[in-house]
Structure 1
Amino acid sequence: MSEEGVAGLPEGWARVALGKICDIQAGGPALRKKDQVRAGVPVVRPGDLRHRRVSAHTVAHLDPEHARGLFRYRLAAGDILVTRTGTVGRAALVTEGESGWLYNTHLLRVRAHDPSQAPYLLAFLADRRVVDWLERRAAGTTGMRSVGVRTLKDLPVSLPPLDRQRDIGAALNAVDEKLRVHEEIVRTTTELRETLAELLMTDRMPRPRSFGTGEAGSSRTT
């Protein structure tokens, strides 16, 4: 991607500003520590975006009463979240599992006018060249840089025909899903290892019963 946009598009592709095909909105509550509860409405933060998905294991929760007036910041399946502060430009696709959750002030929500374009747009936004484009336009000092709604709306998007968009989105979505599954395996195996280590190191691990020993289990040949 050049400073002016995508150059040398393949035949049949088009160039359009992201804001022409998507609604883009800044996030809601910053979610201070004192506002968090153990169980409530999940609120997605930048650190919850992993491998272009939202990690349910790290999200904070807001009291349902406080969340009641934040309807405009509710997520829906097919939304794309983009980090607007810190490490700008990281993106994740919202699935049915996160529908109804909230997202905080450090994220931007991208909602495609045509939901079928969402997987392709996620792939486009996650492209290193696009991230570089956003980083060059981020305002502020190092560590406190941010990207605004206007900048993201102006992002030039290269669009292949819709059937090609679907093919590209589906292919990369399948890879992202494999990454998510493997990460879940690593997470659960790590938790299992920690539990096992604690039991072993405190001598609380049940010992297996021996079979075939003692009077009841012995056999004699004659």
Structure 2
Amino acid sequence: MAESLIGELPRGWSEASLADVAELTAGTSTTTSEDGSTGVAKPKNLIRGRIAGPPDRIEDNEAQRLSRYRLVAGDIVCVRTGGLGRHALVTSEQHGWVCGTGLIRVRPRATVDRHYLSGYLSHPTVLDWLKRNSVRSPIPSISTTVLGTLPVALPPPDTQRSIGHALHTLDEKIAAHQSIARTTSELRDVLLPLLLDGSVIPPGHG
């Protein structure tokens, strides 16, 4: 078996650098406009492995000027300053947004499954590699060039897709449970004062 960053690889697996299996582009600075129609992904929008929260927006003419930084569904955006290891898959909801400063856009090549690569970037050993290869300063950071040297374990394409599908399914279940938990918590906050002042009495306990 071949040795890799994450340990011995099964027969038929290989290892390549991230730059060999994806195109990496550092995000760009933008000028926010309240009237803008194009969203900008920033580190603040990466929440629990997803792109969420209201984005900053820019004008259409600026978005056109920054076309090389646009996002497409299937891209992965990674934090490059502070909170290293945080990343998220771009979905159809963010298609056309601009990759803002503080992020690195990772665009997997056609031979790499995006869900597999996103899952790989969450591996504990990969997170440790990011920490060890970051610039040591009060706010840790990593450059596009250094991130591109990250060793990536590559199963055969069919295995990548199987692993990626399994990880994506689990991520969707996690997101669904988190949504239920948030909704339940909000409901409790609304009901608590009504229950405690007698405005609402639970059925069967009147």
TM-score interval (norm. to shorter): 0.7 to 0.9
- Residue 15 of structure 1 is matched in structure 2 by 15
1:51 aligns with 2:51: no
For 2:190 and 2:40, the matched residues in 1 are separated by: 28
CA contact (8 A) 2:120 2:126 kept: yes
Distance (whole Å) between structure 2 residues aligned to residue 138 and residue 188 of structure 1: 38
Q: Which residue of 1 aligns with 2:25?
A: 25
Tell me the CA shift for residue 101 of structure 1: 1.0
Residue-by-residue CA offset, 1:20-76 (whole Å, 9 max, x unaligned):
111000001255xxx242662211111211232211x24222233432311111110
C-alpha change, 1:54 and 1:11, in structure 2 (3 Å) is same
The 5 A counterparts of 1:150-165 are 150-165=145-160
1:79 CA drift (Å): 0.3
Match in the other structure for 1:169: 164
CA-to-aligned-CA distance 1:179-221 (integer Å, 9 cap, x gap) = 22233334445555666679x6xx9x9x9xxxxxxxxxxxxxx
Structure 2: 5+ residue stretches without partners: 201-206
1:90–1:131 CA contact under 8 A, matched in 2: no
RMSD of aligned residue pairs (Cα, Å): 2.7
C-alpha distance in 2 between matches for 1:82 and 1:73: 14
Q: Is the Cα–Cα contact under 8 Å of residues 43 and 61 in structure 1 kept in the other structure?
A: yes
For the 8 Å contact 1:92–1:122, the answer to whether it is kept is yes
Q: Distance in 1 between matches of 2:171 and 2:50?
A: 8
Max Rg structure: 1
Counterpart of 2:77 in structure 1 is 81
TM-score with structure 1 setting the length: 0.77
Q: Does the 8 Å contact 2:17/2:148 carry over to 1? A: yes
CA distance in 1: counterparts of 2:55 and 2:146, whole angstroms: 27
Residue 145 of structure 2 aligns to a residue in which SS? helix
Map residues 1-222 of structure 1 onto 2, 5 A cutoff.
5-29=5-29, 35-37=32-34, 40-55=37-52, 57-114=53-110, 117-142=113-138, 144-189=139-184
Aligned length: 196
- Over 3 Å counting, the alpha-carbon distance change for 1:17 and 1:116 in structure 2 is closer
**Identity over the aligned pairs, expressed in percent?**
38
Residue in 1 aligned with 2:204?
A: none
Uncovered stretches (5+) of structure 1, i.e. residues with no partner: 208-222
After superposition, the C-alpha distances for 1:136-192 in whole angstroms (9 at most, x for unaligned) are 1111412x2211111111011111111111111101101111222233334445555
Shift of 1:126: 1.2
Q: Is the 8 A contact 2:36 2:57 kept in 1?
A: yes
Alpha carbons of structure 1 residues 166 and 27: separation in structure 2 relative to 1, 3 Å = same
Query: Do the aligned partners of residues 69 and 75 (structure 1) sit closer, same or farther apart at CA in structure 2, a change above 3 Å counting?
Result: same
Hey, what's the Cα distance between the residues in 2 that align with 1:39 and 1:184?
29
Q: Please report the TM-score for the alignment, with normalisation by the length of structure 2.
A: 0.83
**1:220 matched residue in structure 2:** none
Structure 1 residue 117: Cα displacement: 1.1
- Please tell me whether the aligned partners of residues 37 and 57 of structure 2 are also in contact (alpha carbons under 8 angstroms): yes
